[in-house]
Amino acid sequence: MDTVLFIIFAIVAIVAGFNVVLQRHPISSALSLVGVMGSLAVLYLLLGAEFMAMAQMIVYGGAVMVLFIFVIMLLNAGAEKPSSKAWFAQIAGLPLLLAFIATLGFLIYSALPGLRAVEFGSWTMGTAEEIGKLLFTQYLLPFEVISVLILIAILGAVVLALKEID
Amino acid sequence: MTFFIVTLIKIVIVFAVFMTTLAYLQWIERKVLAHIQSRTGPLRVGPHGLMQPLADVFKLLTKEDVFPPFVNRFFYLLAPFIAVCLALITISIVPFGPEIEVAGVRTYMQIGDVHVGILLVLAITAVSVYGVALAGWSSNNKYSLLGGLRSSAQMISYELPLSLAIVSPLLLANQLSFRAISDSQAGYYLGFIPRWNIFQAPFPQIFAFIIFLIAAFAETNRIPFDLPEAENELVAGFHTEYSSMKFACFFMAEYANIVNITCVATLLFLGAWHPLFPAPYSNWVAPLVLLLAALSCFAQAAQPRRKNDQYTFPLFGVVFLVLTAIFVVAALEIVPVLSTILLSIFWFLAKVGLLIFAFIWVRGTLPRFRYDQLMHFAWTFLFPVSLLNLLITGLLVALFPERI
């Protein structure tokens, strides 16, 4: 059952991911990205990270992507015309992409020794309780630093918006 | 195997009741609004207009399905689908009562208990913006687009106070699952004050409840925050271009969202199925209420104002009397399982029904906000107040870790 769900949603994630790039219209791309987020949330859920899955849906699937779509709708962006590609991109694009992915995969594989097959449901540390404990003990400093960073970003947005109004 | 059969039975029951409720909610809304405005409301179809929802469904099904030529086909069809599907999910994790044992099978009065139940509800609320936003955009209509834009801005803004208002009862309950939150509200202070979260020590969540309700009005696009479909400004807002069943989907989603949000409010703040006062006495509230309903029906029948009243009202009176008899049996606890089921469902439905009535009442009495007032209210009043409430709750929970 878990394996079947994993295969279904992995395929959905990959197809939607390709769709983000292939679609001509920004709204279609943005909604494909929502599809990627949603299927990733299901994959998290399968691995036992229930809190992460819900946070993924609330923050990325909900807030962030709604804002994207809001902006696209507000600007009333139309479908893009495919631009003529450079000859270098046409010839070397696909091989270079494959080489890049292969290098990345090799680096990740060699950096993380002792990888073994995933067993669905064996990991039970993904509850809100466990994540909260870790956030407020072991990872307290990064957590606070990120909070300050987000605060700075908000203040920056306010300053920029005020400049626009004046 | 038993698990699958039991779950299937529960799904069938909940689905049937939920769908009937959605159909009749619209009838109730029309009736209540009519009586607020000194009218009578639907009366013609069936006894006292009770067949009106059926007639409405039939009308919507048989209407011509107009397909505007310049819409974005895929998203135009996807939008009502998203709206109605997401609206129907939440009811599956709502608990209606405690654990029961029927014919040797122990089961919860709930389809499924999710560990992160309340987060799931928030996730569904966050994603359900897409239905409205896409409908507005794909219709290729200025009014629809404005409705969709308003709706997404409004729902993002009001999600913040909503989430912050939810956090404070979670601090008291220390759990995320709906069942655990409901169980934490069982019992009474001094033997008569219920431990519902709006009365819960150390800090009663009455403010969080009010903030939650206000944000819930905005999240469900109801008056006074129904700007996405303000008919005197935007024709019908995001669903201007929709007809027939596609319109019915949005309509159903709207009512389903009202039921969902009132269920969540009941679970988080009003003690779910736990009665207002302790058990042997609170058992008799249900028969008393039903008996009063039966008596008022007979009183109406004694002075019929319309021709049909002579036989419709005695009929309703008899129905209410039968219900009274059933609940008297339940109150005497002759069959313990039956009384548990009936009484917890009665208390749950009573609270949800009162909140839904409040929703309709507000619709009948309050005017619509202006758009800038709406945003101003959310960001400069509701958001700071909910933050303050959260801070005080957090401080008091930290100071008094042992529950009183």
Q: If you ran DSSP here, which 8-state letter would residue A76 be given?
A: T
Mind telling me how many Å the CA of A125 is from chain B's nearest CA?
13
Q: Which of A39, A66, A125 to mutate to test the interface with B (most CBs of B within 10 A)?
A: A66
Spell out a b/e string for B270-309, using b for 16 or more CB atoms within 10 Å of the CB, else e.
bbbbbbbeeeeebbebbbebbbebbeebeebbeeeeeeeb
Mean pLDDT of A112-120: 72
pLDDT at B177 over 80: yes
Give A-chain residues touching B176 at CB under 8 angstroms.
128
Tell me which chain B residues have a C-beta less than 8 angstroms from the C-beta of A51: 116, 119
Select from A53, A57, A128 the Cβ nearest to the Cβ of B126: A57
Shortest distance, CA A83 to any CA of chain B (angstroms): 23
Residue B245: its pLDDT value, please?
Answer: 82
Give me the residue spans of the domains in chain B: 2-283+333-399
Closest of B359, B336, B202, B392 to residue B266, by C-alpha:
B359
Picking from B116, B126, B153, the nearest residue to A70 by CB comes out as B153
Average pLDDT over residues A107-123: 76
Go through the domains of chain A in sequence order and give each one's CATH number: 2-78+122-165 (1.20.120.1200)
At residue B381, does pLDDT exceed 70? Answer: yes
B200 near B172, Cβ under 8 Å? yes
Residue B10 pLDDT greater than 90, yes or no: no
A117 interfaces chain B, CB cutoff of 8 Å:
no
Q: B375-400 burial, b for 16+ CB within 10 Å, e for fewer?
A: bebbeeebbebbeebbeebeeebeee
Query: What is the average per-residue pLDDT within B248-277?
Result: 88
**Element (H or E) spanning B193, and its range?**
strand B193-194
- Per residue in B67-125, pLDDT (tens digit) is 888 877 888 888 888 889 988 888 888 888 888 777 777 778 788 888 888 888 888 88
From the list B123, B148, B156, which residue is nearest A67 (CB)? B156
pLDDT of amino acid B248: 86
pLDDT in the model for residue B192: 78
Selected residue of A69, A74, A130, A158 to mutate for chain B interface (largest B Cβ count, 10 A): A69
Taking any CB pair shorter than 8 Å as contact, residues of chain B touching chain A are 75, 115-116, 119-120, 122-123, 125-127, 129-130, 133-134, 136-137, 145, 148-149, 152-153, 155-156, 159, 176
| Residue B209 · residue B266 · CB < 8 Å | no
Dist. CA A81–CA A24, nearest whole Å: 7
Q: Which two tokens stand for residue B187?
A: 């019992």
Q: Is residue B350 predicted with pLDDT exceeding 60?
A: yes
Taking contacts as CB-CB distances below 8 angstroms, the residues of chain B near A54 are 116, 119-120, 122-123
Copy the structure tokens of residue B313. 């009202």
Q: Cβ of A70 and B123 within 8 Å?
A: no
Question: CA B351 to CA B362: how far, in whole Å?
Answer: 17
The answer to whether A57 faces chain B, any CB pair under 8 Å, is yes
When pLDDT is cut at 50, 70 and 90, the band that residue A165 belongs to is: low
Distance CA B368, CA B222 (A): 9
Task: Return the residue in A1, A24, A37, A70 with the most chain B beta carbons within 10 A, the one to mutate for interface testing.
Answer: A70
Residue whose C-alpha is closest to residue B285's, from B363, B349, B376, B372: B349
Give me the mean pLDDT over the B361-381 stretch.
Answer: 86
The answer to whether residue B348 scores a pLDDT higher than 80 is yes
Residue B35: pLDDT above 80? yes
Residue B357 has pLDDT above 70, yes or no: yes
Minimum distance, in Å, between the CA of residue B110 and any CA atom of chain A: 20
How many other C-beta atoms are found inside a 10 Å radius of the C-beta of residue B21?
18
CB B355 within 8 A of CB B217: no
Neighbours of A104 (CB within 10 A): 10
Q: Residue A98: exposed, middle, or buried by beta-carbon count in 10 A (0-12, 13-18, 19+)?
A: exposed
What integer pLDDT is reported at residue A144 of this predicted model? 92
**Residue written as token pair 């299901």:** A42
Output the CA angle A161-A73-B78, nearest 5 degrees: 145
Contact flag B159-A127 (C-beta cutoff 8 Å): no
Distance between CA atoms of B198 and B213, rounded to whole angstroms? 13
Distance CA A27, CA A23 (A): 9
Query: Structure tokens of B315?
Result: 């009929």
User: For chain B, what percent of residues have pLDDT higher than 70?
Assistant: 99
Closest CA to B29 of B391, B365, B330, B364: B364
pLDDT exceeds cutoff 70 at A115: no
CA B65 to chain centre: 29
The Cα–Cα gap between B274 and B290 comes to: 19
- The arithmetic mean of pLDDT across residues A82-94, rounded, is 74
Neighbours of B34 (CB within 10 A): 16
Per-residue DSSP letter, B60: H
Question: Is A151's pLDDT higher than 90?
Answer: yes
Residues of A in contact with B93 (CB under 8 A): none
- Report the pLDDT value the prediction gives residue B356, as an integer from 0 to 100: 92
Tell me: pLDDT of A149 over 90: yes
pLDDT tens readout for residues A9-41: 999 999 999 888 888 888 888 889 988 999 999
State whether A58 and B122 contact (CB < 8 Å): yes
What pLDDT is stored for residue A103 in this prediction? 93
- Note the pLDDT of residue A71: 83
Most confident of A79-83, B25-29, B340-344: B25-29
**pLDDT 10s digits, A47-72:** 888 888 888 888 888 888 888 888 88
Please state, in angstroms and as integers, the Cα–Cα distance from residue B304 to each residue in B30, B35, B43, B399, following that order: 22, 17, 14, 62
Separation of alpha carbons B15 and B1, rounded Å: 21
- Hey, is B98 helix, strand or coil? strand
Determine the distance in angstroms separating the CA of B156 from the nearest CA of chain A, rounded to an integer. 7
User: What confidence tens digit (pLDDT) does each residue in B272-304 have?
Assistant: 888 887 777 778 888 888 889 888 888 887 887
**The pair of three-digit structure tokens given for residue A55, joined into one six-digit string:** 């946070």
Query: How many residues make up chain A in this entry?
Result: 166
Residue A100 confidence (pLDDT): 92
pLDDT value at residue A146: 93
Among A27, A54, A127, beta carbon nearest to B123? A54
Q: Compute the average pLDDT of residues B194-220.
A: 85
Q: pLDDT of B304-314, one tens digit each? A: 777 777 778 88
Interchain contact, A27 vs B119, CB within 8 Å: no
Beta pairing, strands B97-102 & B105-109: antiparallel
The DSSP bridge partners found for residue B106 are: B101
At B109, which helix (H) or strand (E)? Answer: strand B105-109
Report the share of chain A in percent with pLDDT over 90.
Answer: 18
Q: Does A136 touch chain B (CB under 8 A)?
A: no
Binned at pLDDT 50, 70 and 90, residue B403 comes out as: low
The minimal CB distance from B126 to the residues A53, A63, A128 is found for: A63
Q: How many other CB atoms are there within 10 angstroms of residue A89's CB atom?
A: 10
Residues A15 and A38 sit within 8 Å (Cβ to Cβ): no
- The tokens describing B379, both together, are 């960001």
Q: Establish how many alpha carbons lie within 13 A of residue B314's alpha carbon, considering only the half-sphere containing its beta carbon.
A: 6
**Alpha-helix runs per DSSP H in A56-139:** 65-75, 87-111, 128-136
B159 contacts A57? CB cut-off 8 A: no
Do residue B156 and residue A57 have CB atoms under 8 angstroms apart? no
The β-bridge partners of B189 are B193
| ipTM of the complex as predicted | 0.81
Which residue from A34, A69, A128 is facing B176, i.e. has the nearest CB? A128
d(CA A150, nearest CA chain B) in Å: 16
What one-letter code names the amino acid at A41?
Answer: A
In order of A72, B119, B224, the CA distances from B214 in angstroms are: 29, 20, 9
Residue B66 has pLDDT above 60, yes or no: yes
CA distance B104 to chain A (A): 28
pLDDT range class, residue B404, cuts 50, 70, 90: low
